[in-house]
Amino acid sequence: MAEEFHAIATDAAAGRAVAVRGLVNHCILQQDMPVSGVSVFRRDVKIRKRLPSGVVVGRNGTGGQRAQITEFSMQSRYRLLHTCKNCNADFASMITLTYPADFPSDGKTVKLHLEEFRRRLLRKFPGILGIWFLEFQRRGAPHFHILLSLKIWELGPLVERKRHLKKLGTKIFRTVESLQDWASKAWFKIVGSGDEKHLRAGVAWEVIEEEDGALRYAACHAAKPHQKKVPKDYSDVGRFWGVVGPLKVEPLAILPADTEMVIDRVFVDSISRRGRVKKYLWDAAPLFLPSQQEDETGDDDCCHGQ
């Protein structure tokens, strides 16, 4: 019996090796740039590729000046999700900032409002870390969500509050009364609202209740194209997301690797629909740094690659 199991295991290993080699050859046929290494982060792996001979990146080479942002591109969505999952923060609360019935349609004005709120937040809570997202409501109004590292339940007793959402009905969230009131008054003053209804309901600072709730929200945010479509009368949209405080994304290790090694570790999940090795390998860190397996066992497998 033991000999039979050994023979099956040997055949399986041989079959996998053939499959890996076939996938490598397929990448070559698709003119994919060869893998030169991997950057391993808290949860994900980012592929490093070797440029063809003679290609120069930067001044007088490939690339150039950034064009004006007009949409939430797929690459920006990947960078956002990668930042949320691998940064030096564990998000514990979220602020939602909305506008009253009268709202600006100029992205520069909207970003100035956000920047002023961000400054006030950092002055009140030095060292706080966060990521903000821009979305648009059906009425065309911009609004922001800010994921924050602040554990607000450590600053006061939690109370329940209600939010009225058109599609979802009434939502109950938990907050700290003093923080909720501070954020509401700060945003009300920044945007020059004057609408008492907006003062009561324009801001929600809530506890992120579920484990990995922030990552789930970021994944959902990146997958909601209808809320990223810029209204026709909205100008200078600018960036769709950014950071609060000294938030960083740094690799735990940079390892040498080639295409065959990557495919052998991750197999078909490492190949894109175009037949090339993906830039981001979601939740693949334990495959390259086994020590990460124990550290991140509670993480939710919310994505399956680029």
Looking only at the bridges linking them, the beta strands covering 158-165 and 280-281 are: unpaired
How far apart are the C-alpha atoms of 54 and 57, rounded to whole Å? 10
Confidence of residue 9 (pLDDT cuts 50, 70, 90): very low
Tokens found for residue 87: 């940064």
What's residue 37's pLDDT?
93
How far apart are the C-alpha atoms of 282 and 300, rounded to whole Å? 11
What's residue 216's pLDDT?
79
pLDDT surpassing 80 at residue 294 = no
For the sheet with 45-49, list strands across it: 253-256, 35-40, 45-49, 280-281
Task: Give the tens place of pLDDT for each residue, 218-269.
Answer: 777 666 666 678 899 999 999 999 999 999 999 999 999 988 888 888 887 8
Q: What is the 3-state secondary structure (H, E, C) of 139-189?
A: CCCEEEEEEECCCHHHCCCEEEEEEEECCCEEEEEEEEHHHHHHHHHHHHH
Tokens found for residue 240: 């769709």
How far apart are the C-alpha atoms of 150 and 208, rounded to whole Å? 10
For residues 152, 156, 157, 159, the Cα torsion angle rounded to the nearest 10 degrees is -60
Residues 6+ apart with CB under 8 A from 87: 129, 131, 247, 248, 249
* Burial class of residue 279, CB neighbours in 10 A (0-12, 13-18, 19+): middle
pTM of the model: 0.81
Task: Give the tens place of pLDDT for each residue, 138-175.
Answer: 889 999 999 999 999 999 999 999 887 666 567 889 99
Measured CA distances, 249 to 38, 89, 210, 280, 299 (Å): 15, 9, 23, 14, 17
What's residue 11's pLDDT?
53
Tokens found for residue 109: 């004005």
Burial letters 146-180, b for 16+ CB under 10 A, else e: bbbbbebeeeeeeeebebeeeeeeeeebbbbeebb
Structural contact between residues 154 and 160, judged by C-beta atoms closer than 8 angstroms: no
Task: Give the tens place of pLDDT for each residue, 20-34.
Answer: 767 677 676 666 788
Pairwise pLDDT comparison (292 vs 289), residue with the higher score: 289
Amino acid letter, 89: A
Pairwise pLDDT comparison (235 vs 300), residue with the higher score: 235
How far apart are the C-alpha atoms of 152 and 254, rounded to whole Å? 35
If residue 241 lies in a helix (H) or strand (E), which one and from where to where? strand 241-244
How far apart are the C-alpha atoms of 149 and 10, rounded to whole Å? 49
Tokens found for residue 58: 């930067």
Residue 263: closest CA among 17, 13, 15, 20 = 20
Chain centroid offset of residue 178 CA? 29
Task: Give the tens place of pLDDT for each residue, 91-135.
Answer: 999 999 999 999 999 999 999 999 999 999 999 999 999 999 999
Q: Is 41 helix (H, G, I), strand (E, B) or coil?
A: coil
| Average pLDDT for the chain | 83
How many Cα neighbours within 13 Å face the side chain of 229? 9
